[in-house]
Chains A and B, each alone.
Chain A
Amino acid sequence: MSDIKTSVNLCGVELKNPVMVASGTFGSGQEYSEFVDLNRLGAVVTKGVANIPWPGNPTPRVAEVYGGMLNAVGLQNPGIDVFCNRDIPFLQNYDTKIIVNVCGKSTSDYLEVVERLADEPVDMLEINISCPNVKEGGIAFGQDPKLVEQITSDIKKIAKQPVIMKLSPNVTDITEMARAAEAGGADCLSLINTLTGMKIDIDRRTFVLANKTGGMSGPAIHPIAVRMVYQTAQAVKLPLIGMGGISTAEDAIEMILAGATAVSVGTANFVDPCTTIKVVEGIENYMRKYGVKDINELVGAVHER
Chain B
Amino acid sequence: MATKFEEMAVVVSQKEIATDIYDLTIQTKEIAAAAKAGQFISLYCNDGTKLLPRPISLCGIDREAGTLRLVYRVTGENTGTAQFSKMVEGDTVRVLGPLGNGFELGDKKAFCIGGGIGIPPMLQLAKELNCEKTAVLGYRNELFLLEDFEAVCDTIIATEDGSAGTKGNVIDAIKANGATADVIYACGPTPMLRALKAYAEENNMECYISMEEHMACGIGACLACVCKTKDKDHHTNVNNTRICKEGPVFNAKEVEL
The contact size tier of chain A is 35 or more
Residue of A67, A269, A274 near B221 (CB, 8 A) is: A269
Are B224 and A73 closer than 8 Å at their CB atoms?
Answer: yes
In this assembly, does A286 line the interface, its C-beta being within 8 Å of a C-beta of chain B? Answer: no
The A-contacting residues of B in range 1-40, CB under 8 angstroms, are 2-4, 6
* Chain B residues with CB below 8 A from A27, complex form: 220-223
* Chain B residues with CB below 8 A from A273, complex form: 6, 96, 217, 219
* Chain B residues with CB below 8 A from A67, complex form: 48-49, 51
Knowing A62-B52, A219-B48 touch, does A26 contact B238 (C-beta < 8 A)? no
Number of residue pairs across A and B with beta carbons under 8 Å?
A: 110
Knowing A26-B221, A73-B222 touch, does A34 contact B216 (C-beta < 8 A)? no
Q: How far is the CA of A95 from the CA of B192 in the complex (A)?
A: 48
Q: How far is the CB of A74 from chain B (nearest CB, A)?
A: 9
| B interface footprint on A255-284 (CB within 8 Å = 1, 0 otherwise) | 000000000000101111110000000000
Are A25 and B214 closer than 8 Å at their CB atoms?
Answer: no
29 A-B residue pairs with Cβ-Cβ distance under 8 Å, sorted by A, are A25-B221, A25-B222, A31-B219, A31-B221, A31-B245, A53-B237, A54-B238, A55-B238, A56-B223, A60-B214, A60-B224, A62-B222, A64-B52, A69-B216, A73-B222, A73-B223, A76-B223, A76-B236, A78-B237, A79-B237, A82-B237, A219-B48, A219-B51, A267-B216, A270-B51, A271-B52, A272-B6, A272-B44, A273-B96
The B-contacting residues of A in range 68-121, CB under 8 angstroms, are 68-69, 71, 73, 76, 78-79, 82
Knowing A64-B52, A68-B51, A270-B216 touch, does A24 contact B226 (C-beta < 8 A)? no
Are A60 and B213 closer than 8 Å at their CB atoms?
Answer: yes
Are A53 and B6 closer than 8 Å at their CB atoms?
Answer: no
- Using a Cβ–Cβ cut-off of 8 Å, how many residues does chain B contribute to the interface with A? 35
In this assembly, does A35 line the interface, its C-beta being within 8 Å of a C-beta of chain B? Answer: yes
Q: How far is the CA of A59 from the CA of B226 in the complex (A)?
A: 7
| A interface footprint on B232-245 (CB within 8 Å = 1, 0 otherwise) | 00011111100001
The binding surface of chain A is classed by DSSP as loop
Residue of A47, A66, A78, A272 near B49 (CB, 8 A) is: A66
| B interface footprint on A234-254 (CB within 8 Å = 1, 0 otherwise) | 000000000000000000000
Q: How far is the CB of A242 from chain B (nearest CB, A)?
A: 20
Q: How far is the CA of A232 from the CA of B248 in the complex (A)?
A: 44
Q: How far is the CB of A287 from chain B (nearest CB, A)?
A: 25
Q: How far is the CA of A66 from the CA of B219 in the complex (A)?
A: 23
Q: How far is the CA of A32 from the CA of B96 in the complex (A)?
A: 13
Q: How far is the CB of A134 from chain B (nearest CB, A)?
A: 14
Are B221 and A32 closer than 8 Å at their CB atoms?
Answer: yes
* Chain B residues with CB below 8 A from A53, complex form: 236-238
Instruction: List chain B positions with a Cβ less than 8 A from chain A.
Output: 2-4, 6, 44, 48-53, 94, 96, 213-227, 235-240, 245
Residue of B2, B51, B226 near A34 (CB, 8 A) is: B2
In this assembly, does A142 line the interface, its C-beta being within 8 Å of a C-beta of chain B? Answer: no
CB-CB nearest in chain A for B219? A31
In this assembly, does A162 line the interface, its C-beta being within 8 Å of a C-beta of chain B? Answer: no
* Chain B residues with CB below 8 A from A32, complex form: 219, 221
In this assembly, does A218 line the interface, its C-beta being within 8 Å of a C-beta of chain B? Answer: yes
Are A76 and B221 closer than 8 Å at their CB atoms?
Answer: no
Nearest 6 A-B pairs (CB), nearest first?
A: A78-B237, A27-B221, A62-B224, A31-B221, A60-B214, A55-B238
Q: How far is the CA of A76 from the CA of B96 in the complex (A)?
A: 25
Are B215 and A62 closer than 8 Å at their CB atoms?
Answer: yes
* Chain B residues with CB below 8 A from A66, complex form: 49
* Chain A residues with CB below 8 A from B48, complex form: 67, 219
Are A69 and B240 closer than 8 Å at their CB atoms?
Answer: no
Are A55 and B221 closer than 8 Å at their CB atoms?
Answer: no
Are B237 and A267 closer than 8 Å at their CB atoms?
Answer: no
Q: How far is the CA of A79 from the CA of B51 in the complex (A)?
A: 30
